[in-house]
Amino acid sequence: MDAVTGWWDDYFWGSMVVLQVFIFSLLLMVLFGLIGAAAKLSDNRVAQKISAAYTVIFRGTPEILVILLLYFGSAIFLTSVAQVFNPEIKFVDVPPMWAGTFAIALIVGSYATETFRGAFLGVKPGSIEAARALGMSNLQTFVFIRIPEMWRLALPAFGNHMLSLIKDTALISIIGLNETFFVAKQAIGTTGEPFTMYIVVGAIYLGFSTIITLTVMGLEKFGLRTTEGAR
């Protein structure tokens, strides 16, 4: 373990990259999931079909393939767009961080689509009707009744989605994101201790997973308390 001394700060900054990717992909994932769920629940046939295709595609394709495709694909696309304006340009480089963030958000978002849809449908009509009967407006009902109830129903699965996201950030190292894997590779180059260096990477991810799990557990308890109090 002595070999790790001197690399701690690199690992720390690598972890910050993981954290950053996680946060941005989480926001995007929620967005994709909500759009997907809304489309599935809508009356619009086309929207339903598109959303269904979205889930089938991203659940049926290996994560690494989605990441590779988005990274290289967007580079080529942007290059050809740029060449329209300036034929001199040979290659537009897409930052792996953004391609990767976008890719894993799309992947996990396809799972979140089902979660959000299920949670929306899981809200008992009784509580909605009761709220209406109390004279709440549509918006009030949505904000004060449906959202909290959906949130409670979706939380356990949502916790799993967050775990998927944090673990999928590791895959972005394949297209060259400078996160903990990258640090480990550099460290191995100088120390010749691959086991030690990758164990540190594993420990960092385990730490992130633990924090997420504990947070979700805490939120679940909180959610339970509020609903029990309401009864």
Partner 1 sequence: MIFDLSLIADSIPKMLAGIGITFQLMALSAFLGLILAVILLLMRISGKWYLSWPAQVHIYVFRGTPILVQIFIIYYGFPQFEFIRESIFWPILREPFGCAVVALSLNTGAYVSEILRGGVLGVDRGVLEAGSALGLSARHKFIYLTTPIAARLALPAYSNDFISLMKATSLASTITLMDMTGIARTIVAQTFAPYEIFISLAIIYMVLTWGIQKTFGRIEKYLSRYVKP
Binding partner 1 by CB under 8 A: which of 9, 45, 46, 60? 60
Q: Does the CA dihedral 155-160-161-165 come out positive or negative?
A: positive
Distances (CA, A) of 63 to 25, 158, 174: 14, 18, 11
Is residue 95 involved in binding partner 1 (CB under 8 A)? Answer: no
Size of residue set near partner 1 by CB under 8 A: 43
Tokens representing residue 122 in the block: 């899981």
Is residue 54 involved in binding partner 1 (CB under 8 A)? Answer: no
Q: How far is the CB of 194 from partner 1 (least distance, A)?
A: 4
Site string for partner 1, 115-154 (x = CB under 8 A): ----------------------------------------
What's the CA angle centered on 138, arms 132 and 139, to 5 degrees? 130
Is residue 80 involved in binding partner 1 (CB under 8 A)? Answer: yes
Is residue 158 involved in binding partner 1 (CB under 8 A)? Answer: no
Contact 32, 109 (CB under 8 A): yes
The backbone torsions φ and ψ at residue 92, rounded to the nearest 5 degrees and listed phi first, read: -95, 125
Q: How far is the CB of 46 from partner 1 (least distance, A)?
A: 21
Is residue 68 involved in binding partner 1 (CB under 8 A)? Answer: yes
Contact 92, 171 (CB under 8 A): no
Nearest to 6 by CA among 190, 182, 179, 202: 190
Report d(CA 219, CA 227) in Å as an integer: 12
Binding partner 1 by CB under 8 A: which of 17, 29, 177, 201? 201
Which one of 24-32, 40-48, 65-73, 112-120 is the stretch in contact with partner 1 (CB under 8 A)?
65-73
Binding partner 1 by CB under 8 A: which of 127, 132, 198, 216? 198
Nearest to 117 by CA among 72, 201, 55: 55
Residues near partner 1 (CB under 8 A) are 56-57, 59-66, 68-69, 72-73, 76-77, 80, 163, 167-171, 173-174, 181, 184, 188, 192-199, 201-202, 205-206, 209-210, 213
